């Protein structure tokens, strides 16, 4: 059984929700219309993603249903009343029919054996039984379980073509005595469809699971036989039971299957449902023994014909197949499947074939994914600890303190709710800064608010609406200093944030620094879930990437760059929706080092509704895929510039695209295991993986000095929030594969993150 996986990695690309769209914006009314058209175009892709997941879920449910056999033939009811059952049935022969609506039993003629086999077909044992019957030129009557028929149609075809007879043994081997009429009908019809799809026939023979002799019929089971008899079915019981399922030894199986005093008998063996090597060893000995006693072997139809000669439609003589009643070489109980029954049966067999191939392949793939995810957990913990110890050593230093002023660029588009808090937080900075607000054609008075504050060092640059990348590039051109800090208009810094953020630039090899973005509006359930995700991402993922020197993203909410490095990389590009991931990879490829500074903290406003969260994460994941595809040639880059391609690119693709895409299937497979395999074992595995995630989260919270109480929401996060993130990624993959192009959509802000919230 495969195990549940981790929650999605915190965003590899994190352009803030307030960042502008690619290209130029239009007037608000036209924006609404464009957004509506974009949403309309995305709906089919959302539907396609959901349909793909639904199809795989249905395949797994079908496979689980096929494997849901109930118990074995050792289950026997005792003590139930038989007052409703006619006496002549209880005392009659093993073949029960209802000609004219009247219950009638037929006995097997003397010196005759009806050799019956239950619970097949089985790919191991049934072919061996068929070989023995063919060797001794003996026919058998096989009561088949429909789910097994649909899984092994080739064996059923061989069985019928060899001249054997088949009957219905229900679809899931369920005790019909306690089932509704609808369930009984469904069990029979599904088995008939399976027979039609496998061998092109239907049958009138039936044997109930857990049945034995007619004297065991009781008031619970009698209505089942009555109803089936009215529908034309012949119910078949036994006279002699080999009890081979007990595996008592070959000699006892032969003895127990032998009738007394030359009587005819319907004899029960099993060709499936367990380990049947003793049955295979006993069967030739039994046939030889009975033939030596002068017995002949026939099918159920043959026994009925011998007792009712007038119904025989074939003359004696010829091979075994032609000796049986019925046309076209068919047994009398067999009828050729035609029309809808035939095609529905073929569809069932085809669907089962897909499930039989898909589920094992999926299981193997998910085991690999599960191992990879657990390996990632271990690697994150080890590397995060090493990173923490390395950065907190007394002798650790990036170099001489960086004290010179820096330029802080704040791209803004319609940020009237947030811009004041953002600028006031920067004005309190303990590091000298110039603040450049690049107003990207706002229509809500953002620029006017920024100017009216009268804060020192604040400069407002206006430009026609051109998008976030253009606004950032404009800010870089306007910057007076060699180090530029980029942030969002809905984010606030702590007083020491800029000072911490720029210290790594003491190392001349460092081209960019990622800060520690934190969720400010964490008091809601959605906010708390995102808070857990951010803390784990920035304190485990980014520490790991930092040590491996393959940081995939400088978050748009807080990042610092050498102006020279940005210009060398060609500036901020609008080729993707994840301009922060794009520029980060470009800096790696240009030979610059990108690092993480955990003490530089920024507080941002996370989406407050599921709809806004879906929109944001959809854009993030799609933009990340665009950036990865754009820089795919980094895989072949040489030297230090190729490190991201050799290390970072595979890690991002594996753990932020491939693993999350398969993760919903792991959850579906866990449910499948709980329902169809072993509920307790599956639940324990899920809880164990959740425990590992809690340990990782707790360590991340410890590193960031966060309150542990938010971890109480993690189990619910695994059941709800995580699934949504996976579906978002699947949606993004479908969009990418179908050639869709996603437009940027601005999220609604409340401005509630006014000042750093602390760690409460």
Tokens of 730: 């699947």
Question: Please, what's the b/e burial string for 161-172 (b: 16 or more CB within 10 A of its CB; e: otherwise)?
Answer: eebbbbbbbbbb
CA–CA separation, 427 and 556 (whole Å): 20
Within 10 angstroms of residue 467's Cβ, the number of other Cβ atoms is 23
* Positions of E strands within 341-442: 406-412, 433-440
Paired tokens of 647: 């290390």
Instruction: Return d(Cα 93, Cα 213) in angstroms, integer.
Output: 9
Distance CA 646, CA 212 (A): 67
270 part of the active site: yes
Catalytic residue among 63, 73, 118, 541: 118
Q: Please, which contacts does 669-677 make with residues 24 or more away whose CB atoms are closer than 8 Å? A: 669/1, 669/2, 669/60, 669/362, 669/363, 669/366, 670/1, 670/2, 670/3, 670/4, 672/60, 672/61, 672/63, 672/64, 673/1, 673/2, 675/64, 676/64, 676/65, 676/67, 676/68, 677/1
Show Cβ contacts of residue 579 under 8 Å, excluding neighbours closer than 6 positions.
Answer: 15, 19, 468, 469, 472, 556, 572, 573, 623
The candidate with the shortest Cα–Cα distance to 345, out of 566, 187, 194, 235, is 194
Helix (H, G, I), strand (E, B) or coil at 235: strand
Other Cβ atoms less than 10 A from the Cβ of 313: the count is: 10
How far apart (Å, rounded) are the C-alpha atoms in residues 501 and 350? 60
Q: Hey, CA dihedral for 669, 675, 681, 687, is it positive or negative?
A: positive
Residues 6+ apart with CB under 8 A from 569: 583, 586, 587, 589, 590
DSSP assignment of 173-184, as one string? ---GGGS-HHHH
- Running DSSP on this structure, what letter comes out for residue 506? G
- For the chain, count helices (H), then strands (E): 26, 20
Instruction: Locate all alpha helices (DSSP H) within 1-143, ordered by sequence.
Output: 28-66, 87-90, 126-136
Strand ranges, E, within 363-457: 406-412, 433-440
Region for residue 573 given its phi and psi (left: phi exceeds 0; alpha: psi -120 to 50; beta: otherwise): beta
Select from 418, 399, 400 the least CA-distant residue to 410: 418
| Residue recorded with tokens 């409340």 | 750
Nearest to 536 by CA among 355, 698, 681, 745: 698
Angle, alpha carbons 577-725-4 (nearest 5°) = 140
What's the Cα-to-Cα distance from 247 to each of 239, 385, 515, 587, rounded to whole Å? 20, 58, 69, 71
Q: How many CA atoms lie within 13 A of 709 on its CB side?
A: 6
CA distance 240 to 94: 10
Distances, alpha carbon 298 to alpha carbons 161, 303, 304, in Å? 16, 6, 10
Tell me the C-alpha distance between 39 and 742, whole Å: 9
Name beta bridge partners: 284.
none
Per the CB < 8 A criterion, the answer to whether 599 and 500 are in contact is: yes
Q: Which residue has the tokens 């080092």?
A: 593
Considering the candidates 152, 169, 270, 334, report the single residue annotated as catalytic.
270
Name, in order, each residue with C-beta under 8 angstroms of 369's C-beta and a sequence gap of 6 or more: 2, 5, 658, 659, 662, 663, 666
Inter-residue contact 312 to 325 (CB < 8 Å): yes
Known catalytic residue: 599?
no
Tokens standing for residue 94: 């093993």
Question: 229 — phi, psi (to 5°)?
Answer: -60, -40
Angle of the 181-199 helix axis to the 339-391 helix axis, nearest 10? 100
Residues with catalytic roles? 118, 270
């Amino acid at each position: 059984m495969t195990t549940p996986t981790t929650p999605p990695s915190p965003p590899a690309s994190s352009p803030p929700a307030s960042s502008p769209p690619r290209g130029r914006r239009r007037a608000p009314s036209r924006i609404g219309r464009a957004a509506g058209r974009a949403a309309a175009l995305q709906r089919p892709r959302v539907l396609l993603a959901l349909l793909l997941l639904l199809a795989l879920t249905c395949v797994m449910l079908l496979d689980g249903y096929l494997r849901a056999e109930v118990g074995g033939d050792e289950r026997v009811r005792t003590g139930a009343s038989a007052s409703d059952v006619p006496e002549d049935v209880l005392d009659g022969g093993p073949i029960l029919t209802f000609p004219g609506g009247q219950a009638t039993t037929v006995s097997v003629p003397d010196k005759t054996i009806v050799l019956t086999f239950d619970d097949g077909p089985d790919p191991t044992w049934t072919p061996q039984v068929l070989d023995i019957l063919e060797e001794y030129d003996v026919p058998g009557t096989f009561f088949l379980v429909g789910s097994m028929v649909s899984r092994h149609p080739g064996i059923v075809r061989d069985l019928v073509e060899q001249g054997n007879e088949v009957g219905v043994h229900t679809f899931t081997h369920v005790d019909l005595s306690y089932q509704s009429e609808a369930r009984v009908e469904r069990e029979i019809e599904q088995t008939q469809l399976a027979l039609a799809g496998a061998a092109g026939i239907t049958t009138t023979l039936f044997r109930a699971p857990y049945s034995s002799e007619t004297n065991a019929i009781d008031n619970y089971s009698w209505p089942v036989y009555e109803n089936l008899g009215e529908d034309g079915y012949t119910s078949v019981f036994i006279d002699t039971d080999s009890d081979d399922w007990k595996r008592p030894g070959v000699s006892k199986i032969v003895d127990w299957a032998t009738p007394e005093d030359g009587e005819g008998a319907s004899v029960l063996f099993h060709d499936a449902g367990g380990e049947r090597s003793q049955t295979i060893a006993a069967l030739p000995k039994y046939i030889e023994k009975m033939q030596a006693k002068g017995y002949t072997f026939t099918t159920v139809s043959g026994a009925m014909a011998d007792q009712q000669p007038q119904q025989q439609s074939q003359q004696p003589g010829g091979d075994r197949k032609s000796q049986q009643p019925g046309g076209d070489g068919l047994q009398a109980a067999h009828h050729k499947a035609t029309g809808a029954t035939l095609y529905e049966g073929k569809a069932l067999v085809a669907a089962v074939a897909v499930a039989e191939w898909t589920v094992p392949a999926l299981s193997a793939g998910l085991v690999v994914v599960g191992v990879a995810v657990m390996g990632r957990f271990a690697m994150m913990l080890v590397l995060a600890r090493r990173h923490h110890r390395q950065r907190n050593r007394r002798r650790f230093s990036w170099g001489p303190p960086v004290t010179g002023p820096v330029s802080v660029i704040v791209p803004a588009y319609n940020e009237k709710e947030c811009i004041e808090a953002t600028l006031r937080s920067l004005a309190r900075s303990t590091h000298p800064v110039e603040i450049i607000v690049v107003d990207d054609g706002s229509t809500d008075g953002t620029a006017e608010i920024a100017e009216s504050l009268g804060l020192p060092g604040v400069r407002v640059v206006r430009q026609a609406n051109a998008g976030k990348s253009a606004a950032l590039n404009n800010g870089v051109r306007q910057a007076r200093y060699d180090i530029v800090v980029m942030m969002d208009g809905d984010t606030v810094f702590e007083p020491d944030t800029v000072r911490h953020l720029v210290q790594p630039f003491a190392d001349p090899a460092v081209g960019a620094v990622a800060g520690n973005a934190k969720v400010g509006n964490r008091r809601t359930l959605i906010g708390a879930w995102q808070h857990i995700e951010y803390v784990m991402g920035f304190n485990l993922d980014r520490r790991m990437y930092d040590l491996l020197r393959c940081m995939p993203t400088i978050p748009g909410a807080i990042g610092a760059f050498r102006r020279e490095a940005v210009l060398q990389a060609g500036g901020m590009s609008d080729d993707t929706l994840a301009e922060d991931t794009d520029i980060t990879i470009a800096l790696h490829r240009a030979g610059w080092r990108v690092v993480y500074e955990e003490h530089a903290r920024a507080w941002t406003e996370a989406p407050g509704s599921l709809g806004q969260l879906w929109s944001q994460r959809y854009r993030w994941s799609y933009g990340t895929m665009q950036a990865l595809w754009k820089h795919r040639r980094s895989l072949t880059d040489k030297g230090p510039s190729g490190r991201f391609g050799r290390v970072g690119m595979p890690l991002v693709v594996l753990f932020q695209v491939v693993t999350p895409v398969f993760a919903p299937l792991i959850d579906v497979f866990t449910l499948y295991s709980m329902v169809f395999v072993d509920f307790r074992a599956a639940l324990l595995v899920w809880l164990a993986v959740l425990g590992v995630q809690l340990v990782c989260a707790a360590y991340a919270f410890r590193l960031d000095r966060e309150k542990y109480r938010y971890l109480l929401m993690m189990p619910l996060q695994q059941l709800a929030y995580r699934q949504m993130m996976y579906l978002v990624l699947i949606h993004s993959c479908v969009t990418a594969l179908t050639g869709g192009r996603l437009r940027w959509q601005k999220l609604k802000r409340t401005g509630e993150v006014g000042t750093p919230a602390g760690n409460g």
